[in-house]
Structure 1
Amino acid sequence: MPKYMGRSQARTSPRYVHIPTEILVQIANLIFDQWTEDLSPDFQSTLHKFCLVSRQWYSAGIGFLYHRPQLAKGNSFALFTNTVCPPIRSRGRKVDLGSLVQVLNLSGLVHHSSNSLTARLLGRVKKSLRKFAAPRVSFSLTSHTRINSLAPLSKCKEMTHLSLGLVADPITLYDLKKAVGHLDKLESLDLPPSMLITDDGSSEDWPPNLKWLKVGGCFDSHTARSFRWPTTLQGLTLIDCEYLTTVLDVASMNEQLCATLKELTISPYHRELLVNEPFAGVKRFSSLRRLRIPIDSLFGVDINPVFDVIDIPRSMRELILTSPIDETFAVVDIEHLCKALRGELSQVCGIGISPDCLGFLPQASRANIDGLVWNNIDNCPEDELDAVFDLGLYVLDPEQVY
């Protein structure tokens, strides 16, 4: 906890200048805004020094300091846990610093914590926690063990985003839904890659307002076709799934999901190339607006150079091309792509490409592709363009890639 100069001590200092608290809050907010943009630990150090000036400065800056602690480097995690959840016999603190934490990212930790410490930490920050990313280890998800991190997690009523995408400890879908199913503010959920995704026929429901789901691992082949997707789902990301084509087919056969899904992302972290087994099910997602796929799977989702567009979702406006699955991939079939932009992709108004994929599009062809996309824009209703991130052919910013 920062040590600060008392009010009387500060006022007797020859360098003392009183600054209104409102101005100090604005200064701390400015430091924090720069910090969230650059994600540099230097800004955390700056805010820490800010809080050491005096009690007034402390009260103005402490909320920003603990809002999103950076814990991956050095002994920052140990210092943080000793402050927020000190040992049981230590002297208690008057200020509940854990209630100031809104974003807790432990994904960069390896052996810094333990199951008990992680569970106790979640218990201390549960009041205001909105986003949580679990560590790979030291996060127990098994309800039969003495220490279970799902119990304190279930009490984080303000949670909007939960990432379990790195957790190695096995967990059943039933246990997870039982823990988080009542969190009505939870909108985004990343499932553990070790999870066997199955429909066990239980009455446990998904969180009522879940919009974004990231799925990896393996679907149970016996229950895959009866799998109950969240009824409010708008975005689905598939990452390192076994039997990717089968998973896509299963998803596309769910009538409710086909009617609500607006964004489909296929991560490049797959061992299976879609180009080997073209996936025609994308046509069934009638509300799809954005399709994000590896560049070498471009024609594996059955985007063929035809001109019959009757059964293609007319809602799709964006195509995002990311890193290839196959490291030996060389170049996009430009003629194929141009024909598709006049046919099945004639409704697409934005094509984003990750920086590392620019070499797969020959320089001489980029202007032609951009021109075809702008022809699509000219024929698109103006109100439809508002939801498109960017228009024409453009390069993704680093934070947009995945």
Structure 2
Amino acid sequence: MPPATDQTAHHQAADEETGFHVSTEDQIVGDRVPALPIEVLCQVLDYVQFFPAAQRDLWALTLVSRSWYAAAVASLYKKPDISGKNFGFFVRTLCPSINAHIRKTSFSSMVKELNMSKLVHDSTKSLTSRILGRLKDGLEIFVAPQASFAVNCLAALSKCHYLRELDLSYVSESIGLLQLLRSVSKLSRLEKLSIRCKLDYPADRGPPKVVWPPKLKALRLSACINGNDFVIFNTIPKSLISLTLRHCRGLNGESIRTILMNSGDVLESFQFEPRTSDSLIYIDLPHWIEHAPRLRRLFIPASSSSIRTDYDFPIPLRYSAQNPHPLEHLEFDCTHLDLYGSELDYEDIWLAIAEGYLGRVRRLGFRHQFNVQPWRTNRTELQDLDDLLRALAREDGQEANIKEQDAGVYICS
């Protein structure tokens, strides 16, 4: 990103990699070329922005002429590619002065997406706060840096009222959940939130009421949540359709059931990242999904009795072979079973899909440790499952959500 506080300064910028300078005389010569219609310029820009080197190409286009500059500069700053090499240029362009009332720049309103995840020690916490303050009138997507985002940045963050996506998962400093939500709960346009935090309330008093952003659709949470802390989900907005949990070691089956009861009416995706919880040894899948009638994607830890097709534990009458659950994509995290040399009962899974309540599942995944190769010892069972899923997808036809070429069994580590 070249430094540019005005058009002339922009064209006098230097590329650090090539050392090529563009002078004002080159700009004057460029303007003698007949101008292209604005429709043509827009077509070119729409094509260029999908290139791998779009940032560099857009910068080059701004050096062609004044008309190209006017057409391309907004695209150039819309999603800047920030790294340690050009961060200094970017700061001098967006924040030419510490005083927010001096030397304001029009470039700040052009930035819609700011990803600072590539920065480690290039910025400071106060500088990150100042950048957010400058970009508050246009910023829609923000990914925070690891070391230079902290509590003192929350005040500036709370004024970014156009934010739609906020990712704080890279932040190394653990921020209190309540303190964080007090800053973002008033962001009325926020739809995606990814946070790594701690629970900042006294355990003996019980958790207070937690207020989430009103239009939140996707939440990715990493926190030290124990079995008694699941009540923080009691106030999750009904707009939430995707929930991902990470590193919640103390979660148990009852807390999962409570989460689904509070958000299951609209929840479509529920994911546990690998090794999220050490307490989910027993998975009551039939009764879990009973509380999530719209769930289509589910990634959960595996246990030897996850599916439960035996008659000692009857399946809820709400879902059966005649009325299967709408779940389409199911993945089991088998890393815990790998530690003890245990395996899933693939026959139960086959029966639940072919003749039971999982009759709409078309993609089935198994996550194992990198040194485990289940496709060698259970090749026949896995192949039967794969054939079944592809055959069912073929019967669904082209109108199905998961086509035949995307259906089947996959194994990952």
Indicate the residue corresponding to 2:213 in structure 1: 207
Unaligned runs of 5+ in 1: 36-41, 142-147
> Quick one: distance in 2 between partners of 1:99 and 1:70?
16
CA drift at 1:153:
0.7
The structure-2 alpha-carbon separation of the partners of 1:324 and 1:131, relative to structure 1 and needing over 3 Å to count, comes to farther
In the other structure, the counterpart of 1:82 is 92
SS, match of residue 236 in structure 2: coil
Report deviation, 1:321: 5.3
- Residue in 1 aligned with 2:349? 337
C-alpha displacement of 1:226: 6.2
Q: For residues 119-157 of structure 1, what are the alpha-carbon distances to aligned partners after superposition, in whole Å with 9 as ceiling and x for unaligned?
A: 00001111121111111211122xxxxxx2111111111
Question: For each residue in 1:266-314, what CA deviation from the matched residue of structure 2 results, as whole angstroms up to 9, or x when unmatched?
Answer: 101536374x3334452343324233426xx344682234484635571
Aligned to 1:159: 163
Equivalence map 1:188-203=2 (5 Å): 188-195=192-199, 200-202=207-209
SS at match of 1:191: strand
SS of the residue corresponding to residue 192 of structure 1 reads: strand
Match of 1:9 among 3, 25, 29: 29
Q: Does 1:242 align with 2:245?
A: no
User: Which residues of 2 match residues 59-70 of structure 1 at below 5 A?
Assistant: 59-70=70-81
Inter-CA distance 33–228: structure 2 relative to 1 (3 Å threshold) = same
**One of 256, 260, 265 as aligned partner of 1:251:** 256
Q: TM-score, normalised by structure 1?
A: 0.78
After superposition, what is the alpha-carbon deviation per residue over 1:191-248, rounded to whole angstroms, capped at 9, x for unaligned? 214445886424x62111111111222225555346424122221101111223x2x5
RMSD: 3.7
Query: Does the alignment pair 1:131 with 2:141?
Result: yes
**TM-score, structure 2 normalization:** 0.77
Partner of 2:408: 393
Shift of 1:86: 1.8
Unaligned 5+ runs, structure 2: 5-9, 12-21
Paired with 2:403 and 2:154, the residues of 1 have a C-alpha distance of 37
Residue in structure 1 matched with residue 388 of structure 2 by the alignment? 372
Are residue 111 (structure 1) and residue 121 (structure 2) matched?
yes
**SS of the counterpart of 2:163?**
coil
Residues 9 and 257 of structure 1: CA distance in aligned 2, closer, same or farther (over 3 Å): same
Deviation at 1:160, TM superposition (A): 1.0
The SS at the match of 2:50 is helix
**Range moving further from structure 2, 230-239 or 256-265:** 256-265
Alignment of 1:225-304 (within 5 A): 225=231, 227-232=233-238, 233-244=240-251, 246=252, 248-254=253-259, 255-270=261-276, 272=278, 274=280, 276-280=281-285, 282-293=288-299, 297-299=301-303, 302-304=306-308
Q: CA separation in 1, counterparts of 2:157 and 2:307? A: 42
Measured in 1, the distance between the counterparts of 2:119 and 2:337 equals 30
Q: Is the 1:184–1:208 Cα contact (8 Å) retained in structure 2?
A: yes
Q: Work out which of the residue numbers 317, 325, 331 in structure 1 matches 2:328.
A: 317
Q: Which residue of 1 aligns with 2:150?
A: 140
Q: Match for residue 82 of structure 2?
A: 71
Aligned length: 375
Aligned letter for 2:273?
S
